[in-house]
Amino acid sequence: MITNIPHIKHLASARAEENWRFRCRLLASPIPREQISSLIFRLYKRASERIPCTTCGNCCRRVSPLFDARDIAHMAKAAGLSDARFEDRFLKLDDAHPGIMVLKKLPCAFLKNSRCSRYRSRPFDCRAYPHIRRHGNTRRMTTLFSNIGICPIVFNVWEGLKKEFGARVAGIDEYDWV
């Protein structure tokens, strides 16, 4: 298992084209989605048993969670602020998701010594990260793909997918746009 964040970032960058081709081929392959999903789940379980999710905090440095009204209320209460004050101080509207808030800046203001200082009251999006914990996660292939260079767990899951399915999808023709 590779856990060194700078090394993961380097490998993800160096393998970006290979990873994109693999993603496209895997999604176009005749391999049943449930088989892909089951493997993602098994690889996630194995990686998360070896890599404690709360140790690096890289997601808190590089990815903003989405905040809905419930998340805002919960976080504001934990911070001892009104919802409006919490929003004003820490959040902004997300251009991609109308009505959803994101952090104004990264790293997250609640990241202290590579750990979340509001772990018990963190938003749902943080609780669900890296978004591959459940079966049926092939629908989240884009999220999985975008987190390869950020999360050590995701990086190792992705590399496991390539080892397991790489030879089976290598012969599939690429689309013209790949």
| Segments forming the whole domain that contains residue 87 | 64-118
Q: Check: CB of residue 145 under 8 Å from CB of residue 132.
A: no
Q: Check: CB of residue 19 under 8 Å from CB of residue 148.
A: yes
pLDDT in tens, 108-145: 999 999 899 999 999 999 998 988 876 565 566 777 88
- Can you tell me the distance from the alpha carbon of 151 to that of 26, in angstroms, rounded to the nearest whole number? 21
In a domain, 178, yes or no: no
In a domain, 125, yes or no: no
Across 33-48, average pLDDT: 90
pLDDT at 175: 37
Domain count within the chain: 2
In a domain, 124, yes or no: no
Q: Check: CB of residue 79 under 8 Å from CB of residue 67.
A: no
Of the candidate ranges 31-45, 65-79, 102-116, the one whose mean pLDDT is the lowest: 31-45
Mean pLDDT of the chain: 88
Q: Is residue 91 located within the same domain as residue 135?
A: no
Collapse the DSSP code of 93 into the 3-class scheme (helix H, G, I; strand E, B; otherwise coil) and give the result. strand
Q: Is residue 22 located within the same domain as residue 109?
A: no
pLDDT at 178: 33
In a domain, 146, yes or no: yes
- Can you tell me the distance from the alpha carbon of 109 to that of 70, in angstroms, rounded to the nearest whole number? 19
Q: What torsion, rounded to 10 degrees, do the Cα atoms 58, 60, 100, 144 define?
A: 20
pLDDT at 53: 86
Q: Is residue 68 located within the same domain as residue 114?
A: yes
In a domain, 123, yes or no: no
Q: Check: CB of residue 103 under 8 Å from CB of residue 65.
A: yes
